[in-house]
Structure 1
Amino acid sequence: MAASALPGAARLTAVALGSSGDEPPVTVPRDPAREAARRELAKRMYHENDPSLLQRALNAFWEWLGRLLAKAASTTPGGTLGLLVVALCVIAVLAALWWRLGTPRRSPSSTAPLFDERPRTAAGHRAASEAHAAQGHWNQAVQERMRAIVRALEERALLDVRPGRTADEAAAEAGRTLPGHADGLRAAARHFDDITYGGHTADRQVYQRIAQLDSDLGRSRPTLVNSTARDGETG
């Protein structure tokens, strides 16, 4: 019997039983207006003011940091105020350490020789020092003046001519022969090392002190150790 000849309820049952699973699924057509709106909003002109990838990453980072601080504040005694006090204490400790230790500098080293490979007289070093001082190049002026001091002591035979001698070694040896200037020689060697190897900067006052030491040493007479010992024995 054809399905059209059956009553209404029986006809619906026959249609349901006669349908096979091979038929394609029923699809609901998309709303043309919604599709048109989606395509329109996807245009670039509507996204020109959107945050960049970096900005979105920064926003995510600040949100994460905010949640972290909020969690820390909830677990810190006193809440947000307690967290602020802890942060201020940490900043104060760091500032105190910075003020106490100062800017990190390289440790001065006195292992390098005082003179380079170019031999020069004391007068030559002194002239170079004065030329640098006239231009305000105080570091070079101090360095050349210290070299002039040591070279002058070598020329007077108060120091042995010894290649590779450092400023500290020269000051220690000269201080035994000229004990009245031992402190000045040590200070001059220290300035030389700080400027040459420690990254420090000289000024006019440092240069003038070393230049005055150079002048004073030129008028000084050495103290002979043997003569001093004999005078002590005689007394």
Structure 2
Amino acid sequence: MTVTGGTTAAPPTRLLADDGVPLDISRLPAREAAERELSDPAYHQNDPSLLQRGLDRFWEWIDGLFGAVSGVTPGGVIGVAVVVLVVIALVAALWWRLGTPHRTAGATGDSLFADGPRTAREHRSAAARHASAGRWNEAVQERMRAIVRSLEERTLLDPRPGRTADEAAAEAGRSLPSHADDLRLAARAFDDVTYGGRTADEPAYRRVEALDTALERTRPTLDTASTEAPA
């Protein structure tokens, strides 16, 4: 061993050449040679894949997270399990209470009717119940449905599944031109509370209710346009 300037030099590493003659090389080149040798793919055939290493890291993180939480939660691991069960129960209760998220209650797609066939009288009764309870959104919806169903019952509209409020208002406006604008406004009010996330009030409902009453007293205007017979 050689001491130079107070520093102890690393002894050389003794290797053997192919013919058995010993070779003396320093430690750094020896380490580099070993690293080059170990980098051969043959030594890494059984190493875990990148995905496996990622999963191992993930589960280590989960284990560490639960360990950290259990350290600050009363009851340790049992306390963590109780908290998890409570959260699952709350989520299940909310899902059962609210149901699957949708645009609005009772609305399927853009269809005007979603609860099966009901008469205009039944829709009016439902609207009145909602109005008496101050549920103006539902009251507007049911009153608009009553208008369209009444027009279908009077054969002013052909019953057609999947019809939207706007389509019904446009079609009805052709045979009831004096109420065409009010029909469009009623359809817009229906769309606003059903799809637009807006909130109706009592005046909005009363306008739709008044339109329903007025339409009941209105006779349709027939299309009198015809081709004159030749003289």
Question: What's the TM-score once normalised by structure 2's chain length?
Answer: 0.51
Distance 1:231 1:184 in 2: 31
Whichever residue aligns with residue 188 of structure 1, its letter is A
Q: Note closer, same or farther for the CA distance 1:231–1:205 as it changes in structure 2 (3 Å cut).
A: farther
Rounded to whole Å, the distance in 2 between the matches of 1:209 and 1:128 is: 17
State the alpha-carbon separation in 2 of the partners of residues 155 and 140 from structure 1. Answer: 22
The structure showing larger relative contact order (alpha-carbon pairs under 8 Å, at least 6 residues apart) is 1
- 1:113 corresponds to 2:111: yes
Q: Does 1:139 align with 2:130?
A: no
Superposition map of 1:1-235 within 5 A? 112-225=110-223, 227=224, 229-230=225-226
Unpaired segments ≥5 residues, structure 2: 1-5, 7-102
Helix, strand or coil for the counterpart of 2:215?
Answer: helix
Letter matched to residue 122 of structure 2? G
CA RMSD of aligned residues (A): 2.5
Identity of aligned residues (%): 65
Q: Contact 1:150 / 1:170 at 8 angstroms: preserved in 2?
A: yes
Aligned equivalents of 1:232, 1:184: Cα separation in 2: 34
- Measured in 2, the distance between the counterparts of 1:200 and 1:189 equals 14
Please tell me whether the aligned partners of residues 111 and 166 of structure 1 are also in contact (alpha carbons under 8 angstroms).
no
The structure with the greater share of residues assigned to strand is: 2
Query: Alignment length, in residue pairs?
Result: 125
Q: Please identify the structure whose Cα radius of gyration is greater.
A: 1
**1:182, 1:188 → 2: CA distance?**
10
Q: CA deviation at 1:205?
A: 0.2
Q: Distance in 2 between matches of 1:215 and 1:232?
A: 37
Secondary structure of 2:130 counterpart: helix
